[in-house]
Structure 1
Amino acid sequence: MTKLRFLYPLFFLLFISTGLKAQSGLQAPSEFLGYELGSQWTPHHKVMDYFWHVAEQSPQVKTNQYGTTNEGRQLMLAYISARKNMDKLQEIRTNNLKRTGLRDGTPTGDSTAIVWLSYNVHGNETSSSEAAMKTIYELVRPDNARTKKWLQNTVVIIDPMLNPDGRDRYVYWYKQTVGTQPNVHLNAREHHEPWPGGRTNHYYFDLNRDWAWLTQKESRHRIAEYQKWMPHIHVDFHEQEYDSPYYFAPAAKPFHNAITDWQSEFQFTIGQNHAKYFNKNNWLYFTREVFDLFYPSYGDTYPIFNGAIGMTYEQAGHSLAGLGILKTEGDTLTLNDRLTHHHTTGLSTVEISSKNAGRLVSEFSSYYDRAQNNPQGEYETFVIKGDNNPDKLQALFDLLDKHKVKYGQPTQSQSLRGYNYETGESEEVSVSKDDYLVSVYQPKSVMARILFEPKPELSDSVTYDITAWGQHYAYGLDGYALKQRLDVEQASAPKKELENEISGKPYAYLAKWQDLEDIGLLSDLLKQEIRVRFAQKSFTVDGQSYDRGTLIITRSDNKIFTKDFDSTVQEIANKHNQQLYAASTGFVESGPDFGSSSVRYLEPPRVALLSGSGTDAGMVGEIWHYFDKQINYPLTMLDTNYFGDVDLSKYDVLILPSYYGDELDSDRLGEIKEWISSGGKLIAVQGGNNLLAGKERFALKRKKDDESESAEVANQLDKYGEQQRESISSFNPGSIFKVTMDNTHPLAFGYKGNYFSLKLNTSSYQYLENGWNVGVTKEGAHMSGFLGHEAKEGIQNSLTFGVQNMGSGSVVYMIDNPLFRAFWYNGKQLFGNAVFLVGQ
């Protein structure tokens, strides 16, 4: 016993010294990395290592990997707070969810603020991840009394790097380019990163435009975690032009009118706190300019529409700045300057949130109480017709599920007045018990309103992103917006679970051609070397009617197929959850027989995409992602720096994205025309049409400028201070138009008489004199979104989608980009038609 008493003090001292060692083991970023923070870029893996180190050394930090990128890099979140809060972290989280109504139960009186800081969503805006390391260190540094006080009532969540693939693309390029000392002069090559740049992710998507649409895996991983916490504050750290002062809240107009007075008010409070530190250091800054709060898929607006105070902070720098750059006024902007500014606003945000924690929690609770009991907005119920294409319904409901937006079905059928998305008019409509409803009386009331409102209202018309995104239009769904509240009965999404088990050996298998999943089905059939035909006219066989575009897989065409033909076809259809129909004969009851020239053999296309310097990297990524991740069909990307040496006869389809380079000289364009005449197919998308318009043998021509002389004179008398506002008369940042379709042409197979297109500019072209005007905008075609009056006049009565025959080949003119940001679901079949059906 005496021996034990003697050993106990030694054990206690050992325990204490071990604890002190753990605390003292916490290293500052420069100690851990082996170089001064700000002296060089820190690659992704070292940033992650530092955050794991802090979590291992500090009981105030927990970390978790919440996913990986397309290139396999780790995505991480760190949770930081006082010890007492870390011990009940899950309780704080679930208590906050109860405030929103997304979790059952009554919240306690706990007033812990939740602040989420997101860094480096744009890969070449690199200073913020460097700042993230300094910020987490200062939050948990044992002798930092200020941050200790803040964390008593605040949980801070840090995502140190939202876009690791883009960041490493930039960082490693820079490391390979810079010399022993950085060259601060703008002309130095280290300030000019090559195509596609580091801004975007692996597929060249801008992740800061994907918060609402979730087309990218990084976004889906992140939003899943966001929904578990629903923070009260969210900050997205960015960089802008290297000569700019720092930008922080309050934001610029236009504000979406769903933004509350409290959200606007607290942005001012935060901005004033930042200004205190910037004034002390004599740093320049600006507020209330440029960065607006309207488009819902940003890292500031998405949190705002989910009840948080969402903000963008913009530091000068971007990829042009490198490790140091000489500014116009003669100062040198360094990486250390940049990370210090971001570090300062990050800590300032935590500080002011802590000081106002009680109010933040109270207002957040009130926000969700209003959402469920007194929602705002013109419309109270959004109707999605139950007889819409089930695959499109499923795709939409999958998105709503990810955002926790509730939907259900009406308790009764009824007739009432509502806004018809198809006609754009308020009229008498019928709601059936088989339809689906999204009510604004729910926790995610504002998100429901934002996603479905027919015409989002701008409080100010100067904005720098699209101004319309209605999901009825994006998914090609019929439905209505009602000003009345309808009772909603909880219902699950319409699951289309089928298993094709067709016995015997039918004459042919038939698959209807209606949406993206059918393109995926075709892709897999062709890759398995199964021969496929498609119907150019409607027909009826075995008492069943089929529309144009129906895939016809005959036993006769596949006699040499070496595997089990029937089981292979059915397995592929089951994989895509698509219904197969068995035809017992090729002798149809109406329409062309299966051996008719109207039932075309579908030659598997060899597809190439022009990419590289001079092309629009975002559009290249959208097309690449479409083939690689959505329809899983082979695509060869040809770089502009060797495109002149490519033998085009190896390809059947060449896709021309928006193009701004000079690699396609007149000789190469002449070769492309000869290739088309020999049977090739050129698909020009959006800006790619600029290269072709007016050129010899291409039928595409620009519309003439009808602006009157009096209007020109009036413009000459405009006031200088109103120049930006006056210019918007011819501005179209992104609005929705009704396109009248000729659905007898293969480019429009699977569509009804209208297609709703997202137009992103004012480019307008004449109807084709020598070709097929498959999709055109007519008078009154504008449906939603801001549009200057001059732009409206130009876009009306113009070509949107057309096809021209050239020799044995064809040219597809896609004036609008149906794959824009991958969220316009209803455009994906249009692109598939262009690739697979046109010109066969």
Structure 2
Amino acid sequence: MKKTLLLLFLLVLSFVQVKAQNTYYFPGETFSEEIPTPESFLGYEIGEWHTRYDRLVAYFEKLAEVSDMAELHTIGYTNQRRPLVVLVISKGQNIQNIESIRSNHLKLVDPQAPMPDVSSMPAVINLAYSVHGNEPSGGEASILTAYWLLASKSELAKEIRENAVVLIDPAINPDGRDRHSNWANMHKGTPPVADPLDREHNEIWPSGRVNHYWFDLNRDWLPLAQVELQTKIAWYHTWYPNVVGDFHEMGTNSTYFFEPTKPFGSENPVIPRKNYEDINSKFAAYFAKALDDIGSLYWTKEVFDNSYPGYGSTYPDIQGGLGLVFEQGSSRGHIQNSQRGPITFAFTIRNQLRTSIATMEGGVKEREYMHRYLREYFQTAISEANSSRTKAYVFGDEFDQSRNRLFLKLLLDHKIKVFENDREINAEGKSFKKGKSWVVPTSQPQYRMVRSMFEKVTEFADSVFYDASSWTMALAYGIPYSSQTVASTGKELTTLPSLELHFPQAGKYVAYLVDWSDYFAPKFLHHLQASGVHVETTALPFTSNTDQGSKDFPAGSLVIPTGFQKLSATELHEAIALAAKASQQHVYATTTGFNLKGIDLGSNNISAVREPKVLMLVGQGTSQYEAGEIWHLMDTKVGMSISKIDLGLFGRVNLYDYNTLILTSGSYNSLGAAQINHLKDWLNRGGTIISLRMASQWLQSQEIAKEEYLTTESAKGPDFVPFASRRDFEGAQAIGGSIYLGHLDITHPLGFGYRNVEIPVYRNTTIFFKPSKNKYQTPVRYTQNPLLGGYVSSNNLEKVKQSASVLVSQVGQGRVIHFVDNPNFRGTWFGTNKLFFNAIFYGDKM
């Protein structure tokens, strides 16, 4: 009897809790009892705790199990092996015929296909949450959205199930989400603490915003540096959703933001005006009503960016859909004080839930319009291309097959049509050889993506940018390219071309030789050094008589002598073969040290390559983005581990265990006098510091490096600026991210492997150093007409012209290599990565 009463009490309590939560999130609605509520499955009300990702996925699995209106798809895995899932929801008949629906929908993106009957086609709506892991309200809203859509008996829910296929990404960044969820849950008080200074609201480094490699995934939709977005984009192009909701959080004192964004100033130049002026306004009405109904405040037409193509809310715009950014003022925990009073986690979730439902409602109500727009978008892409003077782009690096392939993969991943170049082309001072270059015609459905990849834009409607003002990917890859007024193409490329690598047969050789020009040559070098192979490099070019005849080897090329090895001839041959296969490098062999031209193989201009022992300081006060870029670069492009040591542990570090120290942007003022003296002593005795951006300022402040800042007389500004204009006026003086042309000394060890003295660099700082007083130690300085793409004020442009991009400070027997411009920005700048590789492998040769 007691047991029965206890069960009855628990059932009543559960009913009261469910009713209370449904009253808050879904007032006045009734639900099917066949669909388990989130709180009955998870054991707590949504908003009471931050839901771990595995529990979120488990709930979605349960929904797919109990309902014939839901399917759960695993589309990939994160670096930490969390599944990337998409929950597909529609009426049962649609789920049974989902492939037929998808195939019919894809006809809309093919201007050559017959136009389907859009009146009977369901809307395709993608709701994407938590691309920033410490913006958790979206992930919780995904749970409630899925429950509501499957269980609600409302007419609106029925209409959406009947007329839409809804694709729910619960978290694009599961690794970062769990990092933040664990932090918030482990610091939750009872009762919760609303003080913004409480530990719960202030994560340690790295934050949950970033993924495993400390990348901001909401900048990765264009470059595709990370596995999460590689997976997402591959999936995206199997659907081309009509509407994509991209759910974020912002500062606690803000309310709620939805589109439209700032007219013209925050808009992408390749997107039709119809998107911004017509479609955005249609959908804004749905969002306004949804938030008005619950009395939540909001704002529009300000700040947030729609120009950079790499956001989750802009990439869909460039694929014929409507991308929508939502920003909720964050509780950054379970409750936090704001200027309007305490903000609860549940409150932030409810707002995201409301706009999620409104996105689906708008997508269904406007579905025929959006279907026609999707077809129109790709049709007008071709008509715009046909009216453009530029008919094609030709590109290719004759000496770097790996960088060519990396760029080709990027184009193919974005569904851009690429063709082999079937003729010799000389244009704009560049030579493009048949078989080693490719053509991208502009007359294709992805014309607007082609423009994003190749166009250089320097004129803008606004001078204030939320993020980057330039994103020309061909410049980021450092690929030689030219526009063409005629599109002459060979065979279309559908997959990456196969490689035919040269490797010498076993024999009696004096040395093996490898050109350093290829992007993955550093990977080859690391593999050899890890195998115990002694490797040397040349400071001057030579021509050798190899197993393939006469072959030129530029400065920086690798020389592997056979006479100074601990390995036997057979073991050496096998080690080189394994390294060559792993890095896809051509290897040549010679039977003589007497070269046909230039220095011989025994020259003093050929010296041993020191094996790098690299330490990077990380932690609070340093840039998690720059550190992550370096970690990811060395992991994925070289296969080389580096020691990441927290700044707080520097007192325990014996620097003499390392020969290279990397300092990313940040503050190192926590280091004491004894630690700084240890650093100076190590540096003077031959150490190498690789310093990025603001780290160089810190080194200057400590008189560790002694370079000169550029000081020029600034143009006199106005004596008075209206207070309301202060943000725009000051913002115009920043360099938010633009591309410049530098002059590279290819004879300097930092320039080894480059064949062209012109090099595009990415700048997003107003740090200006004069070129080094040592005339040999400014390997990259700007040209006199440097701006290639993006916005810069006239005053800052004059400073750029007179300053250094990369310079080297000699300190005793050591050196500091200053990268004023980040050579590894967002895992995108393959064209400048080699500067960084050279700093690591050839740092002692400056």
Q: Using structure 2 for the length normalisation, give the TM-score.
A: 0.91
| 1:65 aligns to 2:74 (yes or no) | yes
Counterpart residue identity of residue 755, structure 1: I
Counterpart residue identity of residue 634, structure 1: S
Partner of 1:822: 827
1:289-304 matches, cutoff 5 A: 289-304=302-317
How far, CA to CA, are the matches of 2:681 and 2:285 in structure 1?
Answer: 64
How far, CA to CA, are the matches of 1:502 and 1:383 in structure 2?
Answer: 36
1:634-783 matches, cutoff 5 A: 634-693=641-700, 695-696=702-703, 698-708=705-715, 711=716, 714-751=717-754, 752-770=756-774, 772-783=777-788
| 1:596 aligns to 2:603 (yes or no) | yes
Deviates more, 1:495-504 or 1:343-352: 495-504
1:184-263 matches, cutoff 5 A: 184-252=194-262, 253-263=265-275
The RMSD of aligned alpha carbons is 2.2
Partner of 1:571: 578
Any conservation in 1 of the 2:562–2:569 contact (CA below 8 Å)?
A: no
Query: CA distance change for structure 1 residues 414 and 670 in 2, over 3 Å: closer, same or farther?
Result: closer
Any conservation in 2 of the 1:60–1:140 contact (CA below 8 Å)?
A: yes
Q: Of 25, 34, 40, which aligns to 1:31?
A: 40
Listed one character per residue, the Cα deviations across residues 229-260 of structure 1 (whole Å, up to 9, x for unaligned) are 11111111000001101001112232112111
1:453-602 matches, cutoff 5 A: 453-455=455-457, 457-483=459-485, 486=488, 489-491=491-493, 493-498=496-501, 500-542=503-545, 543-560=550-567, 564-602=571-609
Query: CA distance change for structure 1 residues 37 and 433 in 2, over 3 Å: closer, same or farther?
Result: closer
Deviates more, 1:543-552 or 1:135-144: 135-144
Partner of 2:412: 401
Partner of 1:790: 795
Partner of 2:290: 277
Task: State the Cα distance separating 1:403 from its structure 2 match.
Answer: 1.1
Any conservation in 2 of the 1:728–1:788 contact (CA below 8 Å)?
A: no
Partner of 2:87: 78
Q: Of 443, 446, 450, which aligns to 2:445?
A: 443
Query: CA distance change for structure 1 residues 662 and 697 in 2, over 3 Å: closer, same or farther?
Result: closer
Q: Of 350, 356, 360, which aligns to 1:350?
A: 360
| 1:156 aligns to 2:156 (yes or no) | no
How far, CA to CA, are the matches of 1:517 and 1:453 in structure 2?
Answer: 27
Any conservation in 2 of the 1:254–1:458 contact (CA below 8 Å)?
A: no
Secondary structure at 2:625's aligned position in 1? helix
Any conservation in 1 of the 2:398–2:432 contact (CA below 8 Å)?
A: no
Any conservation in 2 of the 1:762–1:794 contact (CA below 8 Å)?
A: no
Number of aligned residues: 803
Any conservation in 1 of the 2:742–2:782 contact (CA below 8 Å)?
A: yes
Structure 1, unpaired ranges of 5+: 1-21, 424-428
How far, CA to CA, are the matches of 2:417 and 2:172 in structure 1?
Answer: 28
Any conservation in 2 of the 1:686–1:816 contact (CA below 8 Å)?
A: yes
Deviates more, 1:279-288 or 1:40-49: 279-288
| 1:836 aligns to 2:845 (yes or no) | no
Task: State the Cα distance separating 1:768 from its structure 2 match.
Answer: 1.1
Any conservation in 2 of the 1:500–1:574 contact (CA below 8 Å)?
A: no
How far, CA to CA, are the matches of 1:102 and 1:93 in structure 2?
Answer: 17
Q: Of 797, 804, 808, which aligns to 1:803?
A: 808
Counterpart residue identity of residue 757, structure 2: G
Counterpart residue identity of residue 190, structure 1: E
Task: State the Cα distance separating 1:815 from its structure 2 match.
Answer: 0.9
Partner of 2:129: 119
Listed one character per residue, the Cα deviations across residues 481-501 of structure 1 (whole Å, up to 9, x for unaligned) are 235555665245543232524
Task: State the Cα distance separating 1:304 from its structure 2 match.
Answer: 0.8
Any conservation in 1 of the 2:465–2:731 contact (CA below 8 Å)?
A: no
Counterpart residue identity of residue 285, structure 2: Q
Secondary structure at 2:785's aligned position in 1? coil
Deviates more, 1:798-807 or 1:67-76: 798-807
How far, CA to CA, are the matches of 2:380 and 2:143 in structure 1?
Answer: 38
Q: Using structure 1 for the length normalisation, give the TM-score.
A: 0.92
Structure 2, unpaired ranges of 5+: 1-30
Query: CA distance change for structure 1 residues 259 and 807 in 2, over 3 Å: closer, same or farther?
Result: same
Listed one character per residue, the Cα deviations across residues 118-139 of structure 1 (whole Å, up to 9, x for unaligned) are 0000000001110000001111
Listed one character per residue, the Cα deviations across residues 419-447 of structure 1 (whole Å, up to 9, x for unaligned) are x4x89xxxxx9896864211221121111
Q: Of 631, 634, 639, which aligns to 1:627?
A: 634
How far, CA to CA, are the matches of 2:437 and 2:569 in structure 1?
Answer: 46
Secondary structure at 2:598's aligned position in 1? coil
Partner of 1:50: 59
Any conservation in 2 of the 1:122–1:167 contact (CA below 8 Å)?
A: yes
Deviates more, 1:147-156 or 1:307-316: 147-156
How far, CA to CA, are the matches of 2:652 and 2:436 in structure 1?
Answer: 58
Listed one character per residue, the Cα deviations across residues 175-204 of structure 1 (whole Å, up to 9, x for unaligned) are 222222210111222111111111000110
How far, CA to CA, are the matches of 2:111 and 2:841 in structure 1?
Answer: 44
Any conservation in 1 of the 2:693–2:819 contact (CA below 8 Å)?
A: yes
Secondary structure at 1:739's aligned position in 2? strand
How far, CA to CA, are the matches of 2:183 and 2:708 in structure 1?
Answer: 41
Counterpart residue identity of residue 500, structure 1: F
How far, CA to CA, are the matches of 2:663 and 2:458 in structure 1?
Answer: 33
Secondary structure at 2:520's aligned position in 1? helix
Task: State the Cα distance separating 1:210 from its structure 2 match.
Answer: 0.4
Task: State the Cα distance separating 1:23 from its structure 2 match.
Answer: 6.9
Secondary structure at 1:637's aligned position in 2? strand
Any conservation in 2 of the 1:685–1:813 contact (CA below 8 Å)?
A: yes
How far, CA to CA, are the matches of 1:697 and 1:80 in structure 2?
Answer: 60
How far, CA to CA, are the matches of 1:553 and 1:813 in structure 2?
Answer: 30
Task: State the Cα distance separating 1:667 from its structure 2 match.
Answer: 3.8
Identity between Structure 1 and Structure 2 (%)? 29
How far, CA to CA, are the matches of 1:369 and 1:103 in structure 2?
Answer: 9
Counterpart residue identity of residue 124, structure 2: I
Listed one character per residue, the Cα deviations across residues 694-717 of structure 1 (whole Å, up to 9, x for unaligned) are 543523221114215xx0xx4332
Task: State the Cα distance separating 1:107 from its structure 2 match.
Answer: 4.0
Secondary structure at 1:301's aligned position in 2? coil
Any conservation in 2 of the 1:686–1:815 contact (CA below 8 Å)?
A: yes
Secondary structure at 1:608's aligned position in 2? strand
Secondary structure at 1:158's aligned position in 2? strand
Any conservation in 1 of the 2:533–2:567 contact (CA below 8 Å)?
A: no
How far, CA to CA, are the matches of 2:631 and 2:403 in structure 1?
Answer: 22
How far, CA to CA, are the matches of 1:235 and 1:550 in structure 2?
Answer: 50
1:85-104 matches, cutoff 5 A: 85-101=94-110
Any conservation in 2 of the 1:386–1:436 contact (CA below 8 Å)?
A: no
How far, CA to CA, are the matches of 1:279 and 1:104 in structure 2?
Answer: 42
Listed one character per residue, the Cα deviations across residues 595-627 of structure 1 (whole Å, up to 9, x for unaligned) are 222101012111100101111111111111111
How far, CA to CA, are the matches of 2:708 and 2:589 in structure 1?
Answer: 46
How far, CA to CA, are the matches of 1:377 and 1:724 in structure 2?
Answer: 37
Task: State the Cα distance separating 1:561 from its structure 2 match.
Answer: 5.2
Task: State the Cα distance separating 1:360 from its structure 2 match.
Answer: 0.7
Listed one character per residue, the Cα deviations across residues 710-767 of structure 1 (whole Å, up to 9, x for unaligned) are x0xx433222232233224422111111111111110111122121100111211011
Any conservation in 1 of the 2:260–2:300 contact (CA below 8 Å)?
A: yes
Counterpart residue identity of residue 498, structure 2: K
